[in-house]
Structure 1
């Protein structure tokens, strides 16, 4: 069983941090760093049964408690059996623990792709989410999380693709 856990103490009340979770995959997504990563997209507003994903990872919402908790069950990549979640946990006075957790088992080629490719990219993505949450709530205490050379190499094609999309969108006329 794989357990991958990321947590950050955010200096903000749980209701404020919960709003970040509730904004996932919306046009006003305040938790997912879509300027650095493929956007999280869902086929409807947050709710149990809504499906979507980001990049090659696919899932559906299996549990949702607005303002507190969302859980997604993996449907892709092949061999990912489990779920991932975001949780806002009340902590000390006006602080909240924002947690992202993966609980899954792998089989087939996923036994190799998870540790070699998906895990380092996932870890960097979630740390960027937590950095974004801190900045949004006004509690950022330093520079963004640094990345290993391996993660930077894995991210190079993603960064290039996002840069091309930004360049194309800059040249588009806006509608009034």
Structure 2
């Protein structure tokens, strides 16, 4: 048997009623406590009440006890390898202060015994300290000692909180379809991140194209060297200049002698996060352009995925709340 008894707590400079109002919103859209987009959002299928079910990522649980503004107890689905509860509670600490506490008491079974010891325990501790930072910031506007993310938690964020997948190019209503309707190359990839990430498409376009991975930069430099003898223009940053935009989409690209290129960054937010779709259209103008596109097809998916993943990973990196002015 492997019993876990894990507690985190924070003194908040507000009455219990104020902290309780924050706690009562947990697991719902606009939740002020859960550290998203750094971590996959915590979601319940209804406002906090006994019987509400949900979880975060693969961790599933059900509200088993609830006192509004004071306490929420969740019972784990034992299929995840934890048999027990995790509980938020608020205790008075004088007239104008309170303690927000989280306690996990459970037996780890199966794979969870090893998982908790090697990775999950460190991630749990980091999530809870970040959540308490959010509570402290909401209560007083500053945080005395912001959480520091250990390497294991950073690794988990990188692989858990960003999802990249191939998708279809957006419909005829999109800017890219109208700009280059008969492409020789057309593809799209989508990144999914949690709520709280940027929703401005220009912010995402800049993150994708102005700050690519080092390996992509090296490939682009190599490309410029290799294509020069064949009369193909060298690429530069102007190829990714914004042509036009809407509230949800940015269209970038250029017309060159060998081909026309367009890229679209489309941002679709909802209650559970943000989907960023990066689409590419290219149309050859010459025989050399067609040969060039045939070669590009071999590397293009890897390059585009790498650029999109880097931007999405940067978007979910932990950014602890503001440190208090008196903190050292």
Please, what TM-score do these two structures have when normalized by structure 2? 0.49
Matched, 1:165 2:260: no
Comparing 28-37 with 165-174, greater Cα deviation is found at 165-174
1:46 to 45, 48, 62: 48
Q: Are 2:41 and 1:18 aligned?
A: no
> Which stretch has the larger CA shift, 64-73 or 110-119?
110-119
The residue number in structure 2 matching 1:69 is 71
Relative distance call for 1:168 and 1:33 in structure 2 (3 A) is closer
Query: How far apart, in 2, do the equivalents of 1:110 and 1:124 lie?
Result: 18
Greater relative contact order, per chain length (Cα 8 Å cut-off, separation 6+): 1
Kept in 2: contact 1:56–1:76 (CA 8 A): no
Shift of 1:110: 1.3
**Could you say which residue in structure 2 is the equivalent of 1:84?**
86
Q: 2:6 aligns with which of 4, 7, 10?
A: 4
Unmatched runs of 5 consecutive residues or more in structure 1: none
C-alpha distance in 1 between matches for 2:198 and 2:126: 26
Determine if the alignment matches structure 1 residue 142 to structure 2 residue 169. no
* Separation in 2, partners of 1:70, 1:13: 18
The C-alpha deviation readout for 1:60-79, integer Å capped at 9, x for no partner, is: 00000000000000005532
CA distance in 2, matches of 1:126, 1:66: 21
> Which of 22, 34, 42 is the matching residue for 1:32?
34
Over 4 Å off, 4+ runs: 166-170
Aligned to 2:63, what secondary structure does the other structure show? strand
In structure 1, how many angstroms separate the alpha carbons of the residues matched to 2:77 and 2:70? 23
**Residue aligned with 2:7, SS:** strand
Shift of 1:143: 5.2
CA distance in 2, matches of 1:111, 1:173: 38
Residues 123 and 152 in structure 2, CA contact (< 8 A), matched pair in contact too: no
SS at match of 1:27: coil
Distance 1:114 1:9 in 2: 27
Q: How does 1:105-144 map to 2 (within 5 A)?
A: 105-142=107-144, 144=146
Q: Indicate how the Cα distance of structure 1 residues 100 and 173 shifts in structure 2: closer, same or farther if over 3 A, else same.
A: closer
Q: Is the 8 A contact 1:41 1:53 kept in 2?
A: yes
For residues 15 and 168 of structure 1, the distance between their equivalents in structure 2, rounded to whole angstroms, comes to: 31
SS at match of 1:172: strand
**Runs of 5+ consecutive residues of structure 2 not aligned to the other structure:** 165-189, 202-265, 270-328
SS in 2 for 1:52: strand
Larger radius of gyration: 2
RMSD, aligned CA: 2.4
1:44 touches 1:50 (CA, 8 Å); kept in 2? yes
